[in-house]
Structure 1
Amino acid sequence: MSDSHMNDDDDFSFLVKKALEMGAADAKIIPASHICVEDRVALKCKSGCISYGKKLTCPPYVPTPDQFRKIVSEYQYALLVKYLSPAVAEPDIICSIYRYWLDPKAPEDKKRKAQDFWTDHFNGTKNFSPMMLELERLAFNAGYTFALAFMNGSCRLCETCNVEKGLCLHPTQARMTEHAVGINMKKTAEAAGMPIRFPVIGHPELMALLLID
């Protein structure tokens, strides 16, 4: 960070204000050293995510947790942003949302409710990524040239990612998701005083992050 920038949260108040103006439920500046990076988070991607290996913004095409620890140590601050999904699912549906959504043997009524949830969620959260990109742009233009946004959830810019050719078709818009590089957002948010409700009750709480320097 250049000497012209103050080393306190007030210096980033414009980012917090903009995040709230764009619809964030909460936003807070935290020291980058408070970002919790764990190997087991990326392991969870490999063992349970349908996007693993299918998107260039997901493992194994992104920095490993060990590599990302070194990267994040070069940053001083981060903006933590919380959004609320407009989707709501009944407790007995949300607790097994992927099974009811993907399992062809799932009961039809539960499959329909799971599909309705994801339709509402994807339609209602499609603007969250552009919001984070706008925050990244604002930070960059304010002199924080290494500002970099991370998204909640895997990239949805293309119906099928250009993985086979190894070249992203939307490099100015596509960003990695936090857990892909090992960020434990649950721990990071809790330490920042912005805990995420889990198990989900009502509207899912989504977290995104902007590295600043």
Structure 2
Amino acid sequence: MKELNTLIPELRQIALNSGANELQQIPAGIVKTAAWVRFKCRYGCKAYGKHLSCPPYSPTHEETEKVLRDYENAALIEFVGLPKETSVDPRHIHHYLWDLIQAVHNTIYKLERHAFLSGYYKAFGFGAYPCALCETCLPEEGDIDFHTVKRLCRHPDMMRPSMEASGIDVYATVRAAGFELEVVTTFDETIKTFGLLLLD
């Protein structure tokens, strides 16, 4: 297994080459979970129940908190930028940010895979926003049994839950790591997005 001080620069380079702004090693203990986070998904997000990476399919904050106890090390990955020129109404945030969401999910997959192949067999990534690996996700396509739908995912190797969908308080976590993150109040503001990689 590679030393962590060798792996982190490799992961940072992969992240930067994939469009991320920064990758920073953090102690897993500063990742914050909270019961209220998934309420923001359930009440207010148009993607609720439409993507396998989101509630009610994603881990609860209790499950995530329990898993976090198995890790000492993690990395936060920051993405900064505006969406590409698009005719999509920004109120349809999932499609407005489509390219960004795909970049986040693909980067998290690459990082997790590299860490795993470097000997960190517990490596696990969390993306941001609803999954964008497919044009439409299975729950959007009709009535599917809640208990069997996950095994029908078209990309089970790549699909990962988002931080927020898993009950992680993204704002508290990234601020604890020293990043600045504020609520975006207009569609013209630069958007900061974060992913998380658990390492051990």
Answer whether TM exceeds 0.5 for this pair: yes
The answer on whether the counterparts of 2:184 and 2:191 sit within 8 Å (CA) in structure 1 is: no
In structure 1, the gaps of 5 or more residues are 90-110
What residue is the counterpart of 2:189 in the other structure? 202
Aligned position for 1:184 = 169
Does the C-alpha gap of structure 1 residues 5 and 199 become closer, same or farther in structure 2, counting only changes over 3 Å?
A: same
Identity across matched positions, percent: 31
Q: Does 1:61 align with 2:66?
A: no
Partners of 1:117 and 1:60 in 2: CA distance: 19
Q: Deviations over 1:76-117 (max 9, x none)?
A: 11110110133389xxxxxxxxxxxxxxxxxxxxx9763698
Query: If the length of structure 1 is used for normalisation, what is the TM-score?
Result: 0.77
SS of equivalent to 2:90: helix
Q: Deviations over 1:3-62 (max 9, x none)?
A: x665x6565232123222332112101111110101100111111111112222111112
Change (3 A) 1:195 1:88: farther
1:137-156 alignment to 2 at 5 Å? 137-156=113-132
What is the CA-CA distance between 1:72 and the residue it aligns to? 0.9
More helix, by proportion: 1
SS at the partner of 2:29? helix
| Alpha-carbon distance change, 112 to 56 in structure 1, aligned in 2, over 3 angstroms | closer
Contact residue 128 and residue 193 of structure 2 kept, 8 A? yes
> Which amino acid letter does the alignment assign opposite residue 36 of structure 1?
K
Q: Distance in 2 between matches of 1:118 and 1:61?
A: 18
Amino acid in structure 1 at the alignment position of 2:107: M
TM alignment of 1:62-211, pairs within 5 A: 62-87=58-83, 114=90, 121-163=97-139, 164-165=144-145, 166=149, 167-200=152-185, 202-211=189-198
CA-atom RMSD, angstroms?
A: 2.6
In structure 2, stretches of 5+ residues that fail to align are none
Please identify, of 61-70 and 199-208, the stretch whose mean Cα deviation from structure 2 is larger: 199-208
Higher Rg: 1
